Amino acid sequence: MMRTIDVNEAIDNNPFGGFQWLVVGLCASLLIVDGYDVFVAGTVLPTLIAEWGLSKPQAGALQAWALFGMMFGALVFGPLADKIGRKKGIAISFMLFTVSTLLTGFANSPDQFKIFRFVAGLGCGGLMPNAVALMNEYAPKRLRGTMVALMFSGYSVGGMVAAGLGIGLIPQYGWKPMFFVAALPLALLPVVLWKLPESLGFLIRQGQQEKAKRIYGKIDPSACLGDDDRLVFAGAKGASASVAELFRHQRTLRTLMLWVAFFCCLLLVYLLSSWLPKVLQEAGYAEKASLLSLFSLNFGGMVGAIAGGWLGDRFGLPKVVVGFFMAAAASIALIGFNLPAGLLFLIVFIAGATTIGTQILLYASVAQLYNLSVRSTGLGWASGVGRIGAIVGPTLGGMLLAMDFPLQQNFLIFSIPAAASALAMLVFAVSNARRVGTVQLAAA
């Protein structure tokens, strides 16, 4: 007898098994490399300023090239993966940024540096939305926030590795070896091609039932699927992956508020990761202490992502995100108060938890707002809008710091985007609660 099996329902009702842990592990490994690539720029910035005689606005613009690449990468590879599959999208993105990061080590001028960083950015921007979408698909609803956050904490681990290597390598060997290290993760590419599964929703949409059944058998080994059984994926058919679709079904306000939050949040993440070591060196902290602050920022990001994902699964993501952004505004403002080193690291840790960590929760919020057929497009566009903020962050930081405001005033200005994000997500949370209430009433 022919059975129709809803894959979504099966993933939600089955235990979280070894196969899904493999997806978490592989995606987290990819994001460690992605995070390293993003944060390595902040570790080498003080050295580049000295070596190439750059002004602060020039240095800020130099950082922005990778972020331009990320913006285009997010906008191109999100929708492209809806057409060619997540696995191919992830593999192409990974290849692009590892090779380009390696080549950055051979740059001998700011212009060469910009080109390699732009191409690396294309890959980084493409990887993130696709890894989030894939993880979101293989995680049961009850664990989705936690698993996406756990996977995404790899991004912060990459930042911690960049800061740790910077402390050991830069004073002795200069900045170039920091990019040569990127040759090592290329060994991960064959493993990704061999072991990372394709999106089940994509395979079902393409009519590739046999491939989908093989993957499904790993999620539910007791299923014993017959030739006549058919897998379906709720949301795999229906709306086309167009931008207009993001604003349908009364999602306009929520889509716009998420975009505002993404813009401000990524502005903060890249402002802090690009300029924190340099600003703290100028404020009188030693080089080692300034790089340790970058380590604290990313360690906070990792803890914030995992704690936020866990809290989000229990209390609802929108509430947790609002609380985190309020804490971000307070902690960033406090960094400028010339604190003792120990207290400074603690405040920077909180700032990392509530900016880098919250960025990850925003991705999970987007993934939960849209159904599967437009999820990659939704993630790609939110990420792309966020990347505009990411470009503005280092550039704005360079211009502000060139004005020589007191340290305290700089960080008070830096905290404004966090307050704006808190407000945007409050509007999102209220609108979301109303929409959920309306749907429940209609169903009753």
* pLDDT at position 133 over 60: yes
Average pLDDT, the chain: 87
> Burial code of 5-16, b = ≥16 C-beta within 10 A, e = fewer?
bebbebbeeeeb
Among the residue ranges 159-168, 215-224, 435-444, the one predicted with the least confidence is 435-444
- H, E, C per residue of 276-299: HHHHHHHCCCCHHHHHHHHHHHHH
The residues near 231 (Cβ < 8 Å, ≥ 6 apart) are 5, 7, 200, 204, 209, 212, 213, 216, 225
pLDDT in tens, 378-432: 887 888 788 889 889 988 888 888 898 888 898 999 999 999 999 999 999 999 8
Residue in 180, 15, 41, 189 with CA at minimum distance from that of residue 118: 41
Assign 236 a pLDDT band (cuts: 50, 70, 90): very low
179 vs 404, which has greater pLDDT? 179
The residues near 443 (Cβ < 8 Å, ≥ 6 apart) are none
Name the CATH topology of 1-236.
Answer: Growth Hormone; Chain: A; (1.20.1250)
- The arithmetic mean of pLDDT across residues 149-158, rounded, is 85
| Identical fold between 1-236 and 240-443 | yes
- Give the rounded percent of residues in the chain with a pLDDT score beyond 70: 97
How does DSSP classify residue 81?
H
* pLDDT at position 240 over 80: no
371 vs 356, which has greater pLDDT? 356
Please name the residue ranges forming H helices in 53-187. Answer: 56-84, 86-104, 110-138, 144-173, 177-180
* pLDDT at position 296 over 90: yes
* pLDDT at position 363 over 90: no
Assign 26 a pLDDT band (cuts: 50, 70, 90): very high
Assign 324 a pLDDT band (cuts: 50, 70, 90): very high
- Domain 240-443: give its CATH architecture: Up-down Bundle (1.20)
Assign 258 a pLDDT band (cuts: 50, 70, 90): very high
How does DSSP classify residue 223?
-
CB half-sphere exposure, 198, CA atoms < 13 A: 20
* pLDDT at position 261 over 50: yes
Assign 361 a pLDDT band (cuts: 50, 70, 90): confident
d(CA 183, CA 161): 15
Helix or strand run (H / E) with residue 28: helix 18-52
Residue in 159, 147, 162 with CA at minimum distance from that of residue 305: 147
Computed from CA positions of residues 72, 43, 333, 316, in that sequence, does the dihedral angle turn out positive or negative? positive
pLDDT of residue 439: 65
CB–CB of 387/244 below 8 Å? no
**Sequential DSSP letters for 364-378:** HHHHHHS-HHHHHHH
Vertex 411, ends 402 and 46: CA angle to 5°?
A: 50
pLDDT of residue 132: 80
pLDDT in tens, 365-379: 888 888 877 887 888
d(CA 231, CA 4): 6
- Structure token pair of residue 185: 């993760």
d(CA 52, CA 149): 38
- 23 to each of 20, 169, 190, 363, how far by Cα in Å? 5, 32, 15, 17
pLDDT of residue 401: 86
- Give the rounded percent of residues in the chain with a pLDDT score beyond 90: 35
d(CA 88, CA 203): 13
Our measurement of the distance from residue 276's CA atom to the centroid of its chain's CA atoms, rounded to an integer in Å, reads 19
pLDDT in tens, 30-88: 999 988 988 888 889 889 999 999 998 898 888 889 888 888 887 788 778 878 888 99
Q: Where are the domains of the chain?
A: 1-236, 240-443
- The arithmetic mean of pLDDT across residues 135-156, rounded, is 83
Vertex 252, ends 247 and 258: CA angle to 5°?
A: 105
pLDDT of residue 440: 66
Assign 156 a pLDDT band (cuts: 50, 70, 90): confident
d(CA 247, CA 426): 19
